[in-house]
Amino acid sequence: MATAGGRPEPDRQERIAWLAKNASRVRSIDPTMCQHLSICLTVAGHLVILKSMLNSPVGNCFRALAEPVRMAIIERLSRGPATLSEVAQPFDLTLAAVVQHVQVLEQCGLIKSEKIGRTRTCQVDPRGLDVVSNWIPQRRSMVEQELDRLGEMLTSEDREHASESSHAKRRTYAKRKTRRAT
């Protein structure tokens, strides 16, 4: 099969070899080289999706919460404010590692901390979760609209199929009736 440019379409092995050689130039991938390969969909698709979320507040929150230690820190702080040493106590981590996790959570606005003397106290910032709690209903409404359209389409197809079936039954009955009459 020939491509739009007139050259023959590469086979699967050629496409994989080409992709491996040119993986660093993902933006300039020739679609004919990558057509129907899951690796291309994965590489190119994720870059497009991730690129838009890289610097978004929602992306930062989800990235921060994806780490189990940070999620556990949020769980602990949701019960009330705690010092860094209290936050670090249940983990088999150094205090410096816990501080880094806390800094990531602070940067995305999920928690806030203040230092009084030699003690740093952390607490959940409720406004930080607003970013995520506003994002979820927006996506839910988009998905619900798509599902509603799908439901309407399936319902109309069912009606069409039912009417075609009833017409076919009537024709079959009419044919049998005319055969008996003859």
User: What's residue 8's pLDDT?
Assistant: 58
pLDDT digits (tens, 9 = 90+) for 64-88: 888 999 999 999 999 999 999 999 9
| Mean local confidence (pLDDT), 33-37 | 47
Q: How does residue 33 score in pLDDT terms, banded at 50, 70 and 90?
A: very low
Last residue of a domain, one of 80, 103, 124: 124
- Beta-bridge partner residues of 82: 122
Last residue of a domain, one of 98, 124, 150: 124
| Mean local confidence (pLDDT), 121-141 | 87
Q: How many domains does the chain have?
A: 3
Q: Which residue has the tokens 């507040």?
A: 57
Residue 161 lies inside a defined structural domain of this protein: yes
Q: Are residues 132 and 181 in the same domain?
A: yes
Residues 6+ apart with CB under 8 A from 51: none
User: What's residue 158's pLDDT?
Assistant: 77
Containing H/E element for 137?
helix 126-181
Residue 7 lies inside a defined structural domain of this protein: no
| Mean local confidence (pLDDT), 105-109 | 92
Both structure tokens of 83: 């010092």
Residue 162 lies inside a defined structural domain of this protein: yes
| Mean local confidence (pLDDT), 54-64 | 81
- Beta-bridge partner residues of 112: 123
Q: Are residues 105 and 133 in the same domain?
A: no
Q: Are residues 70 and 104 in the same domain?
A: yes
Q: Which residue has the tokens 């994965």?
A: 42
119 is in which domain, residue-wise? Answer: 58-124
Last residue of a domain, one of 124, 146, 163: 124
Answer yes or no: are the C-beta atoms of 99 and 105 closer than 8 Å: no
Q: Are residues 74 and 118 in the same domain?
A: yes
| Angstrom distance (rounded) from CA 125 to CA 129 | 7
Residue 4 lies inside a defined structural domain of this protein: no
**Could you tell me the CATH number of the domain that includes residue 98?**
1.10.10.10
A 10 A CB-CB count for 68 gives 8
pLDDT digits (tens, 9 = 90+) for 147-174: 888 888 888 877 777 776 666 666 666 6
C-alpha triplet 71, 63, 137: angle, nearest 5°? 90
Whole-prediction pTM: 0.52
Strands lying side by side in the sheet with 82-83: 82-83, 119-124, 111-116
Residue 97 lies inside a defined structural domain of this protein: yes
Residue 147 lies inside a defined structural domain of this protein: yes
